[in-house]
């Protein structure tokens, strides 16, 4: 329904401070995008700072059938917060007022706008840690991370956001404030609504508070850089390390294109003739990881690594990770548009996935580089292009579709950590099947019968195809 002046007036009154009610063209356009593709202008932006404000806004939206799109700081790579059907953008970035660490129970209670890395920083002060570490953690809000079920390099050992959520406070589609889960590690009372809501991308309910599980912070870490002449060997090394009984905290891979790009960009002295670099981080008791690193070394050498270099101190460790950090800026030097995918496969299929990606790269004649969280099968094939080049963009669209298909064929999934949003909804049926998707849809219809909560996400509309457009 059209957002009339009358409705705008009512919405404005829900907020304690009218400054948190935005309607200027500049403001609307500034909230029309995220870090993915597509631009959709909302009718209004509200910046709530309490559950009651959110509930009041939702009740108005429910009454007048206005779409509601929750948004953190817009770092989403899947289009999660985009107001594809206009309506209200609920910007949670100001609501960072609650961050309480309960050290005795190892839990944190947070409001949705709290920056994710701040939770880990606060936990660190008590010798604790909040493990999920999306690369955007220093920018992104916990609310957005919960909605998209964000991951990160540490996912290999510690899992993704959903593994650390004990309870939530939510506002339902009809404006009720409800609590799910609780504060205990064990909690098997009834349906696990908490897990259902985490990763539902704002389509089932709006998260207004979260109770998160913390764990003791590992005492020490060690990092090694392993060079491989053959990327297939790097894939084997990943599997062999894991079956040898060692669980690294991070295992990141860079392919030759990434290495060359970084080297041209920053001259770190990386060897450009190797096909892959594997960065392995171990964490835990200092003596234990010392011993484990010896085993990592011999496993890697046995599968044909050229060399293994272990950082001797924190400075060297930072230098090794610098290479991985520079991949993003280095690759966009070639062309400005970067399409970062997060299709994920079972670890044993990593070598096969590399083979298929190589074929896709050649078939569509595109610039494709691969890096990412190899340890958990969450590769990031990145396509570097220029969105102004319409012809190339069409080839890119076809290549992306084929990457997804390859991942599903190999028993994998469309998304390891970015979510579905607008970017991957066209492929949902391919992974879930008709009935699987219908099952999810029936939940959506039960929770949000009027389809006001973040409409246009996750579920494809009939005949939808994958497009990368910005207008």
Partner 1 sequence: MTNNKILQDKLAYDETFSCVQCGYCLPACPTYLAFGKESHSPRGRIQLVKLAAEGKIGFEDLGDSIDCCLGCRACETICPTNVEYGKILDSAIDVLGAFRKSQQSISEKVVRNIVFKKVLPNKKILKIVGTGLRLYQRTKADKVIRKSGVIKQVSPSLATMEQITPRIYKPESRENFQVNSKLKTKTKVAFFTGCIMDTFFARVNDLSMKLLEKAGCEVVLQKEQTCCGALHQHSAEKETAIELAKKNIEVFEQLDCDYIVNAIGGCGAALVEYDHLFEKSDPWFGRAKKFSLKNKDISYILSRMELPITKPLHMRVTYQPSCHLTNVQKIVNEPMELIRKIPGIEFTQMKNQDLCCGSAGIYNIVHHEESMMILDMKMKTVKDVKPHLIITTNPGCHLQMILGVKREGLESTVSVKHLVEVLAEACEVS
Residues that bind partner 1 (CB under 8 A): 22, 24-27, 29-35, 47, 73-75, 91, 93-94, 115, 136, 138-140, 328-329, 332-333, 336-338, 386-388
Query: Which of residues 238 and 383 has its CB atom nearest to partner 1 in the complex?
Result: 383
Give least dist CB 39 to partner 1, A.
Answer: 8
**Closest to 420 measured CA to CA, from 378, 460, 464, 465:** 460
**Which residues lie below 8 Å from residue 245, measured CB to CB, with a gap of 6+?**
none
Name the strand (E) or helix (H) holding 441: helix 428-447
Give least dist CB 145 to partner 1, A.
Answer: 13
Query: Which of residues 92 and 427 has its CB atom nearest to partner 1 in the complex?
Result: 92
Query: Which of residues 21 and 228 has its CB atom nearest to partner 1 in the complex?
Result: 21
Give least dist CB 26 to partner 1, A.
Answer: 5
Give least dist CB 471 to partner 1, A.
Answer: 9
**Which residues lie below 8 Å from residue 20, measured CB to CB, with a gap of 6+?**
46, 47, 48, 49, 94
DSSP state of 218: P
Paired residues of 179 in beta bridges: 169
Contact 296, 308 (CB under 8 A): yes
Give least dist CB 333 to partner 1, A.
Answer: 8
Give least dist CB 348 to partner 1, A.
Answer: 32
**Which residues lie below 8 Å from residue 3, measured CB to CB, with a gap of 6+?**
43, 44, 64, 66, 86, 87, 88
Query: Which of residues 26 and 188 has its CB atom nearest to partner 1 in the complex?
Result: 26
Give least dist CB 33 to partner 1, A.
Answer: 6
Query: Which of residues 238 and 468 has its CB atom nearest to partner 1 in the complex?
Result: 468
* Interatomic CA distance for residues 218 and 235, integer angstroms: 27
Query: Which of residues 30 and 184 has its CB atom nearest to partner 1 in the complex?
Result: 30
Interhelix angle 51-64/5-14, nearest 10 degrees: 160
Give least dist CB 93 to partner 1, A.
Answer: 7
* DSSP codes of every residue in 311-361: --SHHHHHHHHHHHHTHHHHHTTT-SEEEE---B--GGGHHHHHHHHHHHH
Paired residues of 222 in beta bridges: 282
DSSP state of 27: H
* Interatomic CA distance for residues 169 and 189, integer angstroms: 16
Q: Residues 380, 386, 392, 398: what is their CA dihedral angle, to the nearest 10 degrees?
A: 30
Q: How far is CA 171 from CA 51, 296, 386, 446, in A?
A: 7, 48, 40, 15
State the pairing for strand pair 44-46/88-91: parallel
Query: Which of residues 80 and 248 has its CB atom nearest to partner 1 in the complex?
Result: 80
Query: Which of residues 362 and 467 has its CB atom nearest to partner 1 in the complex?
Result: 467
Q: How far is CA 451 from CA 66, 92, 159, 413, in A?
A: 9, 21, 31, 26
Query: Which of residues 388 and 394 has its CB atom nearest to partner 1 in the complex?
Result: 388
Give least dist CB 37 to partner 1, A.
Answer: 10
Q: How far is CA 96 from CA 50, 101, 417, in A?
A: 10, 14, 23
Token digits of residue 370 = 């691969």
Query: Which of residues 93 and 211 has its CB atom nearest to partner 1 in the complex?
Result: 93
Give least dist CB 469 to partner 1, A.
Answer: 14
């Amino acid at each position: 329904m059209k957002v009339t002046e009358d409705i705008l007036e009512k919405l404005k009154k829900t907020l304690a401070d009218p400054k948190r009610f935005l309607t200027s063209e500049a403001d609307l356009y500034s909230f029309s995008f995220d870090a993915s593709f597509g631009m959709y202008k909302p009718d209004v932006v509200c910046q709530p700072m309490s559950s009651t404000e959110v509930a009041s806004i939702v009740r108005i939206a429910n009454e007048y059938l206005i779409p509601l799109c929750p948004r953190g700081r817009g770092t989403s790579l899947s289009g999660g917060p985009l107001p594809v059907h206009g309506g209200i953008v609920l910007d949670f970035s100001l609501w960072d007022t609650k961050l309480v660490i309960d050290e005795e129970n190892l839990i944190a209670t947070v409001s949705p706008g709290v920056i994710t890395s701040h939770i880990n920083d606060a936990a660190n002060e008590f010798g604790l840690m909040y493990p999920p570490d999306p690369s955007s953690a220093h920018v992104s809000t916990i609310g957005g991370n919960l909605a998209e079920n964000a991951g990160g390099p540490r996912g290999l050992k510690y899992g993704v956001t959903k593994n650390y959520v004990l309870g939530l406070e939510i506002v339902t589609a009809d404006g009720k404030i409800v609590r799910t889960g609780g504060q205990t590690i064990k909690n098997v009372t009834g349906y696990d609504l908490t897990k259902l809501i985490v990763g539902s991308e704002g389509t089932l309910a709006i998260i207004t508070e979260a109770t998160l599980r913390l764990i003791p912070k590992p005492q020490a870490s060690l990092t090694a850089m392993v060079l491989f002449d053959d990327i297939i060997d790097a894939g084997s090394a990943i599997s062999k390390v894991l079956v040898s009984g060692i669980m690294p905290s991070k295992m990141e891979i860079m392919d030759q294109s990434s290495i060359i790009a970084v080297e041209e960009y920053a001259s770190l002295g990386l060897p450009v003739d190797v096909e892959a670099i594997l960065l392995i981080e171990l964490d835990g008791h200092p003596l234990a990881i010392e011993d484990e690193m010896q085993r990592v070394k011999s496993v890697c050498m046995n599968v044909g690594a050229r060399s293994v270099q272990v950082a001797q101190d924190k400075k060297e460790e930072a230098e090794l990770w610098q290479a991985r950090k520079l991949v993003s800026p280095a690759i966009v030097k070639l062309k400005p548009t970067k399409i970062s995918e997060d299709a994920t496969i079972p670890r044993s299929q990593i070598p096969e996935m590399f083979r298929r990606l190589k074929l896709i790269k050649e078939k569509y004649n595109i610039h494709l580089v691969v890096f990412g969280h190899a340890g958990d099968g969450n590769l990031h094939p990145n396509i570097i292009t220029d969105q102004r080049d319409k012809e190339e963009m069409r080839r890119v669209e076809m290549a992306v579709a084929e990457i997804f298909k390859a991942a599903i064929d190999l028993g994998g999934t469309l998304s390891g950590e970015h979510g579905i949003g607008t970017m991957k909804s066209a492929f949902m049926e391919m992974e879930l099947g008709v009935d699987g998707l219908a099952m999810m849809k029936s939940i959506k219809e039960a929770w949000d019968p009027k389809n006001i909560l973040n409409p246009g996400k996750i579920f494809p509309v009939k005949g939808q195809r994958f497009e990368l457009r910005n207008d």
